[in-house]
Amino acid sequence: MDGTAVPAVKKSQKDMTKAERKALQDQQRAEKQARRAAVLAERGGGGSPASSGHGKSGAGKTSGTPTIPITPTAPTSTASTSTSYSRNEYWEQASLLSHIEQAKGETHLAGREVHPAILQLGLLYKQRRICGGNARCVAMLTGFKRVIQDYQTPEHSVMPRHLPTHLSPQITFLVSMRPMSVGMGNAIRYVKYEISILPPEWSEDQSKEHLIQRIDDFIRERITLADQEIMEAALDRIIDGDVIAVYGRSSIVERTLLEAHRQGRQFRVIVIDGRPLNEGRWLAKILSDKGIQVLYTEIHGLSYIMEEATKVLFGAHAILGNGAILGRVGMAAVALAAKGRRVPVVVCAETYKMTERVQLDAYVHNEIGPAELLVKQKRDATAQPEAKAPLEGWEERPGLEVLNLMYDVTPVDWVGVLITDVGPVPCSSVPVLLREYRPMTYQ
């Protein structure tokens, strides 16, 4: 009997040889791939995988896109299946990340009902020209104001009922370009709530004016004034002689440091940066241009540089229901290094970024960014001008995949204090804030 064949007599894996167990695993993997291929074929989506019965070149491919095995490991010689998936489907089918939806970023999917302002905004999201939770939320609400201004209620309809259906394709398009943040989701719920309570006897112009005013109120009260309150509370924690470590670029952290310098406080800043966005470079430039002493480093120098820091100052993408902080990928590593050096960690975030969702790790909910952000880096300075980047043409390498997770989760125990627009609180008090201040969103 061939040692690589699955034994005819069924016996436990404990009694099998190593070769028999390997063959059995290959067979089970092939059967699993075939079942997934059948499910995708039933869904009727484009780019469905080729059936295992076709071995010709080009089978199962769409528009020349290279295909790869569904399993994250390289195929072995004993595997007899040719089932393959396009790279766009790889992370959707990988078991660990199958629940994370990746933005398609296809503008041709926009329907006629998508407003030109929303179409332009979606392109800016896709190109990462607008980054940061606050900037994205303000831009989205500003786009909604344009949509409301140009909206006209159809005959035999009322604005409170029809306008939400008109906003739905705008939201769907923005999500298709880039997944929305927690703060954006809360802002959308606020807008829909304000639409639902419009008095039916109001005229269309009166209703539009009221909605635009309420959107302006949200931006002013929940973002602009909230940042002012957070900045004033954070300033109390900056003293002369401080060495403040920051990660990436947060708008509220940037404002706080600039205001502290304007008030004449003497401190140094360590800007820790990380790929793929390298936002910290801009923060280091802005602070140094204002006369602040800045030390710039990337995250690989974290363990050394943390010995100099006296406190760490973060922004946040979202505050989870269990008090954990969802932030730019790499933030958890900085917080862990600070905890190991007993350096206090201060997180600044607005209450509109709070959510009842609970995460224990970054795999439960995340955003998969474009792989090109990781692989398209400048060539090494010592390389020849004609030399290619190491990962250039990675799409043509069947054994190589690129994963670009955008966020990670910082546990409650690694954060000293959370500064919000209602004051400094411990992260353990987030459930109380959700219960007491969530109704403020609808006032």
Per-residue pLDDT, 373: 81
Per-residue pLDDT, 44: 53
Q: Which two structure tokens, joined as six digits, stand for 239?
A: 């003293």
User: 275-296 burial, b for 16+ CB within 10 Å, e for fewer?
Assistant: ebbebbeebbeebeeeebebbb
Distance of CA 168 to the CA centre of its chain: 21
Per-residue pLDDT, 87: 52
Which residues share a beta bridge with 326? 318, 409
What separation in angstroms does the CA of 152 have from each of 119, 120, 159, 418?
19, 21, 8, 44
**From 3.40.50.10470, 3.10.129.10, 3.10.690.10, 2.40.110.10, which CATH number describes the 236-369+404-442 domain?**
3.40.50.10470
Per-residue pLDDT, 328: 93
Alpha helices (H) along 44-85: none
pTM over 0.85, yes/no:
no
Angle among Cα 399, 403, 404 to the nearest 5 degrees reads 155
Per-residue pLDDT, 49: 42
Average pLDDT per block of 10 residues along the chain, 443 residues long: 49 70 79 74 50 41 38 38 45 63 67 88 90 93 95 88 93 91 93 92 92 96 94 94 94 95 95 89 94 93 90 94 93 94 95 90 86 70 60 77 88 94 90 77 51
Domain 107-227 adopts which CATH fold? Four Helix Bundle (Hemerythrin (Met), subunit A) (1.20.120)
CB atoms within 10 A of CB 105: 15
CB atoms within 10 A of CB 9: 4
Q: What does the domain layout of the chain look like in residue ranges? A: 18-93, 107-227, 236-369+404-442
Distance CA 114, CA 128 (A): 20
Q: Write the DSSP string, 358-390.
A: --SSTTSS--B--THHHH--PPPTTS-TTPPPT
Q: Which two structure tokens, joined as six digits, stand for 108?
A: 């041709």
Residue 78 CB-half CA count within 13 A: 16
Q: Which two structure tokens, joined as six digits, stand for 82?
A: 């040719």
Asked if 107-227 and 236-369+404-442 have one fold, the answer is no
User: What angle, 0 to 180 degrees and rounded to 10, lies between the N-to-C axes of helices 133-150 and 116-126?
Assistant: 160
Per-residue pLDDT, 396: 78
The secondary element (H helix, E strand) that includes residue 297 is strand 293-298
